[in-house]
């Protein structure tokens, strides 16, 4: 089995000028490439904002953009897994009580 190639890099986007402010966004680009057969190649590219630098006459400030969507999805998956485990234990306990 051949593992897919994965490349992760942070790229700076084009600067945005807003009045006397200059915004410098950066994005995280994650590329996965996998060959399925002799003719086919599967590429998956995901992009998410990482940070923005605000340059003003007073100086520059860096602001991180948190990945809250991924954190929330992970939290929901953990809760769903916990509910499934508790449900299985309750069903097993009910069956055990009925048979004794």
Contacts 24+ apart (CB under 8 A), 91-96: none
pLDDT in tens, 4-20: 788 889 888 899 999 99
Give DSSP secondary structure letters for 50-79: EEEEEEETTEEEEEE---HHHHHHHHHHHH
Query: How high does pLDDT run on average in the chain?
Result: 88
pLDDT digits (tens, 9 = 90+) for 30-74: 988 887 766 677 788 888 889 999 999 999 999 998 888 888 999
Asked whether the beta carbons of 53 and 64 are under 8 A apart, the reply is: no
pLDDT value at position 81? 96
Go through 8-25 and write b for each residue having 16 or more CB atoms within 10 A of its CB, e for each that does not.
eeeeeeeeeeeeeeeebb
């Amino acid at each position: 089995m051949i593992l897919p190639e994965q490349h992760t890099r942070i790229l700076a986007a084009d600067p945005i000028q807003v009045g006397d402010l200059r915004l410098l966004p950066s994005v995280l680009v994650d590329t996965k490439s996998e060959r399925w057969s002799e003719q086919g190649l599967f590429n998956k590219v995901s992009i998410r904002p990482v940070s923005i630098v605000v340059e003003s006459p007073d100086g520059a400030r860096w602001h991180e953009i948190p990945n809250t969507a991924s954190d929330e999805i992970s939290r929901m998956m953990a809760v769903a897994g916990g509910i499934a485990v508790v449900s299985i234990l309750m069903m097993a306990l009910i069956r055990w009580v009925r048979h004794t």
